[in-house]
Structure formats: C-alpha cells, structure tokens
Amino acid sequence: MAFGKTQTGGLARLSDEDNHGYLYAHLSSLAYKPLLGMSPKSWYKMPAKATVVSYRAPKYELGPINLFDKNVRTIDSMKKELKRAKNDSTIDGILLVNPSYGTSFALMQELIEAFRDFKESGKHISVYYDNISNGGYIFSASIADKIYLNPTGMLDLRGIAIASPYLRDLLDSVGVEPINLRSHKYKNAGNMFSESEMTEAEREVYESLLDSIYEQVLASIETGRGDRLIKPIAELVDEGPYVIAQEALDAGLVDKLIYQDELKGELKKDFSFSKERKEMANYHNYEWAKPKENLIAVIYASGNIVMGKGKAGQKIAHQTTVDLIRKARKDPKYKGIILRVDSGGGSAQASDIILRELELAKKENNMPIVVSMAGSAASGGYYIAANADKIVADGTTLTGSIGVIGLAFNASELFKKVKVNWSTVKKGEHADLGALHRPMRDSEKNILESMIEHTYDDFIGIVADGRGMSKDEVHEIAQGRVWTGAQAKDIGLVDALGGMATSRI
C-alpha cells in the first residue's frame, strides 16, 4: 500500500525446502538522507548488459540460469535500481553504453516504463552505441534524450518477423508418422511435426500477433522520438537496415555520430554534466519494520507447469506452488495474493490443482487474487490465472491459447528400414496404447480425442466462470488461439495493461 511517499507493508520470504518462490510486501517508512558533500549533476553509468527475467532462483541454487548468472537480472531488481537513481539527488542522468537487454517484448515494455518513470523526475537518459541492433533501437528510441552512434557503426532497424521450421517431410522420409491430436486448428504447438508448411490458421494467428506487437513497437518509438524523425517511423523501418551511420543520422533516428572517447565531451556540451559515477551512493536509510499484518503475498510462477516438486525459475511444480499458496492463505498476516505468471503452459492436471488452491484462498480465506502476466501466460499459464479477481498483462504478453494438444508418433516404418522387429504379449485391449512400433488404432485415437475434448470443455468452463462469460463466448475467442495482452484486454481475457505496479490489491 502507498500513501503519498509513505509505503506500508513488511518484507518476508516464503519458501520451502525447494526454495521456490517468495512472498513479500513492504512495511516501512522511507527516510531519504543524502550525505553531505556529494557532487551534484553527475551521470550514473548504469550496467547495460543483462538477460532480464521475471524471476530467478537464489544464487546458491544450481540451475540452467545460475550456472552462468553474472548478467542475469530480474525486472524487479532493475526497477529498484532505476527508482534509487531517480530519488538520488546527486544523479541527474543515466548513461548506457552499448546496452543489450535480452528479454521478451513484454518485459522490455516494463523496462521502458521504468526508464520513462526515471525521466519524469526531470532527469536525462543518454545512450551510446558502436552498432545498434533491432531490439536495441526499439528500447533506446523509446527512452533516450540522446542516441549517439559510432561514425562507422550501423543501425540494424528492420521490423519483426516469425519463422518456424516444419519437419513433416523429414519425418516421412525416415518412416515416422506424427499424430497431432489438437482440440482446434489454432492449437499449433505440434504443427512443426505434423505439417510440411505453415497452415492458414497458424498464419492468421502469427499475422495477428505481429500486427499487435508491431503497432505497439512503432507507438513506443514514436512516443520516444517521433518529433526528431524525418518521416513516419513505419516508413523508416521499411527503408532499413541503415548500414551507413550518416543515413541513420539524416533520418533523425540518432542524434550524433561520435566515437566513444568523445562521449564525455558531448555529454558536457549537451547537458552540462561532466562527472561520471559507476555506482550509486548507499545514501538511503531504510527503517524496516517487522511483518505484522495486512501483507500481500507475491508468488512467482515461472516455467513449464509440471506435477511434483521443483526449483524456482526452472518450472512451476504443482506441489511446490500449492504449498506456497496454502502457506500464504493460512497465515493471518496476509490479506491477498499476487501471482506473477510467466509460463507457456504444461500439465493440465498440475494447472488444475494449482487453480483449486487459489480458489480455496478466495472462498475459505476471503483473499483477493491478482494475476500479473509477464512474457507469457498461455494455455496452462492462463488456466491458473482464469479465476483471479483481476488479471493484468503487458501489452505484448502472449496469452490465451485456451485449448488442448496431444502428440504421438508411429515409427513402424522407421523400424522396418533399420531392420528392427517387434513382438508384443499383452493382457488388456489397450495395454500397449501409444506404442511407437505400430500404427495407432482408431479406437485408441478415439480415447485420446475424447480426453482432449473433455479437457477443453473443462477449460472453457473454468474461463467462463472466472471471466463472467458464457462457454459459447469463451469458445469464440479460445480454440487454442494466442493473443497479445492488448488484444486479450479488448476481448475480455485481461482486465488491465501494465506490470507489477498495476497489479495492486
């Protein structure tokens, strides 16, 4: 909760033996105490290379991210760093040199908003590049007062695209038959195996997604530096990439062509600032109070949804996640839950068990539930969000995909080619259902299709109840189709656009 510049809450970690997830809230009165003698009007040279994620496991855990985690940062940590710089009276601007933030479009939007919030305090942002990537330009043009480019550099501005491989012809050539059991034509996760090229339904979805994302990208650049461009940004993108730096300058896409050793002089000339700082002073005095009551539990759900227990940042294990929700709902200190979802889905059963625990928090503990969607909250990722009191997504979050898929393979022809023979002894008509060495029987396919149909019907029923729609209305926007957050808001799958700051209880 926040009243003016006073924040209330408490800071607490909620975890189990698998160290999965955190619960925290802020219960403090922040007293800003700048040290005497600090030099005013300085530039903060902010670390500019990182993979930005919605959540990461603690450093002492082993995992695919933490083995090489020097440049992995959470979006929350970057927002906090920018807020500190904003409130630091001795910092008047941020300098980024060759920034490279690897992340999703959705988290990039949150990062852009955080930098813009810094600028709203009257401070400045300058960016220097030797060469500018496509994504780097989208980011920098959205936030920077000045973009400096090396005179021999290039601007690789060229739009956005989706390319997907299709393996059907390869599988046919080696004797493997893919069996793509999807609930509807838009549920296309298995298409790379079952198709020889992009289907009309796939193309329809991809074009719709790109239209929405591209519109937001162009709007972001236009907001950042539209007044300096010589023509509409869409036309400038079509004329890219700019392999000659002077062409980028002439188009108004960058502000000056300089070498990096000239940067300090240009900053002094453009903004009258000369002092560079690579670290912020630790000048805030935070007086934290102990957690007492009315706290908000923030639970991170990142990765593939699976049954069992697991590590945070790697997967959403149902038992680990349920334990976190249960611990929060049974602790009287907590008055609500924010579930931060970044997942493309996974196990339908695991998703349903997690959803049930969230429903119990609402019914038995009268706790409001807010879902904040990060890069993706699709399929099972949307399922666990469906019954929330409020769903918040970034404009380019990939969500929806309300559908079901099953994928199987028949490798009988492959085994013939490599001279492998199979013999089976069984008791029970369907004891060897799913066997690779023979074609799937119609009766077996009927069993799987019935399961998929039943699961889909349950799925749209869950969404209908949570979103106040009829099942027919949900079906019209479901059928496995993926939407951006902006599109999802228009069709009623999302309540508001924004990041964690918008996801308040």
Catalytic residue set: 187, 379
The whole-angstrom separation of Cα 37 and Cα 16 is 46
Q: CB atoms < 10 A from the CB of 130, how many?
A: 13
The whole-angstrom separation of Cα 43 and Cα 118 is 13
The whole-angstrom separation of Cα 82 and Cα 70 is 19
Closest CA to 254 of 122, 357, 157, 118: 157
Q: Which amino acid is at 43?
A: W
Query: Taking a C-beta distance cutoff of 8 angstroms, is the pair 395, 484 a contact?
Result: yes
Closest CA to 501 of 341, 399, 372: 372
* DSSP code string of 146-187: EEEE-TT--B------------HHHHHHHT-EEEEEESSTT-
Query: Taking a C-beta distance cutoff of 8 angstroms, is the pair 339, 358 a contact?
Result: yes
User: What is the enclosing helix (H) or strand (E) of 359?
Assistant: helix 348-363
Q: Which amino acid is at 216?
A: Q
